[in-house]
């Protein structure tokens, strides 16, 4: 095997047929109603227990509520009890979320720097074409990366955050693509016995939606990074920093079924150059709707991460 290595004013837990454990989130979070409207049974988790995993979500995607719902769906499918903390950057003001929303439901880094978490998820952001050092919140993000190394058991860097993490930690550059990588792509697993891939098929499907990429040769040339999964079409997918519980994930396993559909129709309406997302619509026809090729694998991915990489002996206060 690779070392390749609340409606109540407090809290809610969510269950679908696959939802088995409670999830605590900020009271009144609007994304909860999205989850309820999708058919989830709701039950209240009054108080986290000694077994509750503390997970932080640093959400730097523009549509905050959509991203909140995406990750709540996945985390709630795990068989782990979870307390979710929404984290925000303090050197960036979101354009698509109200100050009231951010103030009520999110905590800034200065409020969390003295806390410990079992897991941290850092999302992507639609700023791929900007050089990292030109991103206004780059210094704060780098500080969070360093903090996580000491205060977080396992971190997932998603999409642009994966590129940012690989660059900041190892100097691995991102590269502009000739056109948007857009669709659902098949991926192979280099290390089938790796705990992250427990229960996976030999080929897995993953959504990608990005304008930049990481070159495979740069990853394999880096002695601190292990390539775990990739695609002949969409390139490197999951990488792990050797000797750690930190993963860099270039795709969007968390995406809801109609996310790519919304992106495609938005760009068409704006007159932007966009192709049909590959391997997404039934018979390649938007009128037929998407085929769900990835969500079962996504549940396994996040479930395995929580079970095998976030769960440690509890020494945190």
CATH number at residue 301: 3.40.50.880
Kindly state whether residues 192 and 274 are assigned to the same domain.
Answer: no
Residue 85 placed within a domain: yes
Residue 317 placed within a domain: no
Comparing CA positions, the residue from 82, 63, 110, 61 lying closest to residue 19 is: 82
Catalytic residue among 4, 159, 191, 310: 159
Kindly state whether residues 136 and 252 are assigned to the same domain.
Answer: yes
Measuring CA to CA, how many Å separate 153 from each of 109, 111, 116, 310? 17, 19, 8, 6
Catalytic residue among 68, 83, 226, 254: 254
Kindly state whether residues 106 and 223 are assigned to the same domain.
Answer: yes
Look up 187 and say whether it is catalytic.
Answer: no
Residue 192 placed within a domain: yes
Kindly state whether residues 78 and 158 are assigned to the same domain.
Answer: yes
Kindly state whether residues 268 and 128 are assigned to the same domain.
Answer: no
Which range of residues forms the domain containing residue 263?
Answer: 258-291
- What local confidence, expressed as pLDDT, does residue 220 receive? 98
Kindly state whether residues 99 and 237 are assigned to the same domain.
Answer: yes
Look up 142 and say whether it is catalytic.
Answer: no
Residue 264 placed within a domain: yes
pLDDT beneath 70: ranges in the chain: 1-21, 40-46, 313-317
Residue 6 placed within a domain: no
Residue 2 placed within a domain: no
Kindly state whether residues 267 and 190 are assigned to the same domain.
Answer: no
- What local confidence, expressed as pLDDT, does residue 8 receive? 31
Look up 140 and say whether it is catalytic.
Answer: no
Per-residue pLDDT of 12-48, as tens digits, reads 333 334 444 678 888 888 887 777 777 765 444 567 7
Residue 80 placed within a domain: yes
Q: How many CB atoms lie within 10 A of CB 173?
A: 12
Residue 5 placed within a domain: no
- What local confidence, expressed as pLDDT, does residue 46 receive? 62
- What local confidence, expressed as pLDDT, does residue 7 receive? 27
- What local confidence, expressed as pLDDT, does residue 19 receive? 45
Kindly state whether residues 262 and 306 are assigned to the same domain.
Answer: no
- What local confidence, expressed as pLDDT, does residue 286 receive? 96
Kindly state whether residues 210 and 145 are assigned to the same domain.
Answer: yes
Kindly state whether residues 200 and 81 are assigned to the same domain.
Answer: yes
- What local confidence, expressed as pLDDT, does residue 307 receive? 94
Kindly state whether residues 167 and 46 are assigned to the same domain.
Answer: yes
Kindly state whether residues 186 and 278 are assigned to the same domain.
Answer: no
Per-residue pLDDT of 233-289, as tens digits, reads 999 999 999 999 999 999 999 999 999 999 999 999 999 989 999 999 999 999 999
- What local confidence, expressed as pLDDT, does residue 26 receive? 86
- Number of domains composing the chain: 2
């Amino acid at each position: 095997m690779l070392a390749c290595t609340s409606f109540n004013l407090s809290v809610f837990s969510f269950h679908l047929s696959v939802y088995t454990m409670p999830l605590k989130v900020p009271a009144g979070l609007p994304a909860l109603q999205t989850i309820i409207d999708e058919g989830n049974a709701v039950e209240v988790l009054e108080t986290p227990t000694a077994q509750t995993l503390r997970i932080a979500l640093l959400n730097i995607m523009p549509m905050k509520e959509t991203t909140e719902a995406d990750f709540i769906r996945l985390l709630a499918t795990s068989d782990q009890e979870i307390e979710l903390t929404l984290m925000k950057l303090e050197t960036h003001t979101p354009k698509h979320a109200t100050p009231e929303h951010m103030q009520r439901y999110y905590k800034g880094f200065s409020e969390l720097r003295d806390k410990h978490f079992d897991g941290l998820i850092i999302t992507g952001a639609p700023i791929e074409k900007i050089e990292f050092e030109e991103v206004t919140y780059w210094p704060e993000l780098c500080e969070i990366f360093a903090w996580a190394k000491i205060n977080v058991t396992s971190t997932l860097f998603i999409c642009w955050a994966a590129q940012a993490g690989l660059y900041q930690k190892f100097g691995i550059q991102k590269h502009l693509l000739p056109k948007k990588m857009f669709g659902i792509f098949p991926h192979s697993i280099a290390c089938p016995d790796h705990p992250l891939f427990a229960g996976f098929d030999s080929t897995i499907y993953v959504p990608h939606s990005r304008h930049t990429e990481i070159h495979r040769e740069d990853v394999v040339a880096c002695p601190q990074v292990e390539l775990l999964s990739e695609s002949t079409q969409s390139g490197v997918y999951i990488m792990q920093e050797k000797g750690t519980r930190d993963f860099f994930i270039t795709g969007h396993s968390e995406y809801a079924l109609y996310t790519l559909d919304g992106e495609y129709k938005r760009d068409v309406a704006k007159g932007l150059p966009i192709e049909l997302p590959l391997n997404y619509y039934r018979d390649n026809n938007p009128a037929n709707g998407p085929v769900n090729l990835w969500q079962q694998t996504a549940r396994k991915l996040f479930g395995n991460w929580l079970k095998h990489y976030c769960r440690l002996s509890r020494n945190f206060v």
